[in-house]
Chain A
Amino acid sequence: MRSGKMKRHSIIRWVFIAIFVFLLLVLPRFIGEYYTNLAVKIFIMALLACSFNLLLGYTGLLSFGQAAYFAVGAYTCALLLKLVIPSVVLAIPVAVLMSAAVALVFGYFCVRLTEIYFAMLTLAFGQIVYTIAFKWESLTGGDNGLAEIPSPPLNFGLFTLDLSNAFHYYYFALVLVSVSIGVLYLVVNSPFGATLKAIRENPERASFMGQNVRVFRLISFGIAGTFSGLAGAIFAPFEKFVSPELTYWSKSAEIVLVSILGGIYTFIGPVVGSGVMILLEDYISTYTSYWSIFLGTALIIFVVFMPDGIVGRANQIFYKLKTGSLIKQ
């Protein structure tokens, strides 16, 4: 039974969400074409990071090769658009299925391990995908990548989205990413999600309670891979260029970074982390090529002072302001 206070909080929360959604819808009008482009990148990264965090934040598994599924999605979509038929209605779902399949295959081996062994195995698989992308020149274009990926128009009958237009793509990506993140939200708040959290905390106990830990982990891995692949499929027609760097472990590291930065134990942490990181890099790079030292220092300071991530910390501060005490994590 909802008390009056809780109901008020609920309403406030929904108002905030509504305002946020409204802002997202009108943003392109105010920020110009370049930042609209950047916004699309942030959406894609947000989805990628959220899918990754299903594994880390909710299942306790650090995947150091998540970029591989992103790249599989991107390459599959690119190849379908270029060689089969320029239609995203076909290309994107097929790309997603492909990434899901690859994720399940790799995941089957990975979920038997934990901790750093799991991470290293995901890394190895990621590098194997990189090698394939790099060497299978006749299919993937090798290290020169695949260029001139078409962005065909999407016809909805009443209106058409011209996907080569950054503003149209913004809404296209916004819808896809929002729905996906919404689905992920439902997943983590479902009984399935609760089991995942239990597994994260204490795998032995979870298994004693009758849960088949490996199967749950595999499903989680598969879901993460699927949405990472979707992020890749959204990326391909937007960027119009895919290359093996998309699978390299440094891209996977970026995903890890961004999620931890935002806070892996909160749902929107990775989303916030994506936005902050991309905007910051864009801003700093304009002024210096010494972006690495800046990022490195920021990371170090961050780990020491804000290990719960931006959102985690924000939550703590918020809670402290409200109740005068710190949340015990």
Chain B
Amino acid sequence: MARATVACPSLRRRHVDLSNIVIQVLNGITFAMFLYLIAAGLSIVFGVINIINFAHGSFYMLGAFFAYSLVHKLNFTGNFFVTLVFAPLLVGLVGLAMEYVLLRRIYGAPHFLQLLMTYGVILVIQDAVRYFWGGLGEEFVKSVPPPPFLAKSVNILGHPFPSYYLFAIFCGFSLAFFIWWFIERSRWGSLIRAAACQKEMLNALGVNVKMIYTLVFGLGAFFGGLGGALAAPVRAAYPGMGVEVIVECFIVVVVGGLGSVQGAFVAALIIGQLEVSGIMFLEELSMVFIYLLMVVVLVYKPTGIFGKKVGEY
């Protein structure tokens, strides 16, 4: 196989140190939260509307780029949280537009056609981003600085841990809670759940199901954009970042079980932890972990962990 990592004693001597383990777990949770923040929107959209939105990664990318523009061009540096709200809102609008103009027409269509159309959307958005954010003198790679009060680390059991990651963990859990509350407990949530299972009945009762679908899709886009805006201060933004992240999103959603939002959360946690542990112990395979995991899950539990939809024959 390829080059072996030069394993020098000082690295391999593993401290069975509680603090190290805690940090590793936290790293895994952070990684998972970023995954979840992006995948949540995809999961909702699939769960309610039953549409495979390949272009979800583009919402992530737009979130990051809108955040960049808001911060750099419109001088929003002052208030980070404002950017965190506005960038996803803009993405949500894009999502609404996309649903209204394009997706409505293919709700009944077989999945592969949905795939094709949303793949088309990815391509369009990708080149659009390249065009609008790539004028003369513009670099392809964009960077958004984190807000100063989140730019340092805190000390956890003797190890430094970036405060921004704590913030991200907080956001991830909050989002998961919010989604759970919204869908399971709130009034709108019950409408949405009804729209997911009993569309015709709901229509007959006079509810505008079409609008529910539009709003749900917009919500999904909003969450995708939120993921992008949140990731921007700790990652480089570049055209094409959406395409790279979409496969991971799908894996999270599939491993968690299509249609289950809690599943996506749990799957993200598992994947995050495995990735981090894998990097610590089995670096050679880090390229392929996430795929091996999916193979294992799908072979043993074909519908994913919490899967509701029929996936096996």
Contact = CB atoms under 8 A, between A and B. Distances in A.
Interface stretch (A167-175, A226-234, A290-298, A314-322): A290-298
Contact of A138 (B2, B113, B121): B2
Interface in B121-159: 121-128, 130-131
Q: Which of A117, A136, A302 has the most CB of B within 10 A?
A: A117
B126 A121 contact: no
Nearest to B255: A120
B44 to A, nearest CB: 16
A62 B116 CA distance: 12
A299 B55 CA distance: 13
Interface in A117-146: 117, 120-121, 123-125, 127-128, 131, 134-138, 142
A299 B254 contact: no
Contacts of B122: 296
Contact of A296 (B113, B123, B247, B285): B123
A116 B111 contact: yes
A169 B105 CA distance: 45
B311 A117 contact: yes
Contact of A300 (B124, B131, B287, B302): B124
A67 to B, nearest CB: 14
A158 interface: no
Q: Which of B106, B131, B313 has the most CB of A within 10 A?
A: B313
A236 to B, nearest CB: 22
A136 B1 CA distance: 5
A142 B127 CA distance: 29
A260 B117 CA distance: 11
Interface in A283-329: 290, 292-293, 295-300, 302-304, 307
Given A115-B111, A253-B119, A120 B288 contact: no
Contact of B106 (A131, A137, A256, A303): A303
Contact of A62 (B111, B243, B258, B312): B111
Chain A contact patch, size range: 35 or more
Chain B contact patch, size range: 35 or more
A120 B117 contact: no
Interface in B196-230: none
A113 B313 contact: yes
B184 interface: no
Contacts of A56: 112
Contact of B291 (A128, A214, A256): A128
A205 interface: no
B247 A307 contact: no
A112 interface: yes
Contacts of A224: none
B71 interface: no
A109 B285 CA distance: 21
B102 interface: yes
Contacts of A304: 102, 105-106, 117
A90 to B, nearest CB: 27
A213 B123 contact: no
A299 B111 contact: no
Q: Which of A131, A257, A302 has the most CB of B within 10 A?
A: A131
Given A123-B247, A296-B121, A300-B102, A260 B126 contact: no
B120 interface: yes
A127 B287 CA distance: 9
A113 B312 contact: yes
Given A124-B294, A257-B116, A303-B117, A117 B247 contact: no
B175 interface: no
A116 B117 contact: no
A293 B124 contact: yes
Contact of A295 (B2, B120, B287): B120
Interface of B: 1-3, 52, 102, 105-106, 109, 111-113, 115-117, 119-128, 130-131, 243, 247, 250-251, 254, 258, 284-285, 287-288, 291-292, 294-295, 298-299, 302-304, 310-313
18 contacts: A56-B112, A109-B299, A113-B312, A117-B302, A120-B298, A124-B294, A125-B291, A135-B2, A135-B284, A253-B119, A292-B123, A296-B119, A296-B127, A299-B123, A300-B121, A303-B117, A304-B117, A307-B109
Interface of A: 56, 62, 109, 112-117, 120-121, 123-125, 127-128, 131, 134-138, 142, 203, 213-214, 249-250, 253, 256-257, 260, 264, 290, 292-293, 295-300, 302-304, 307
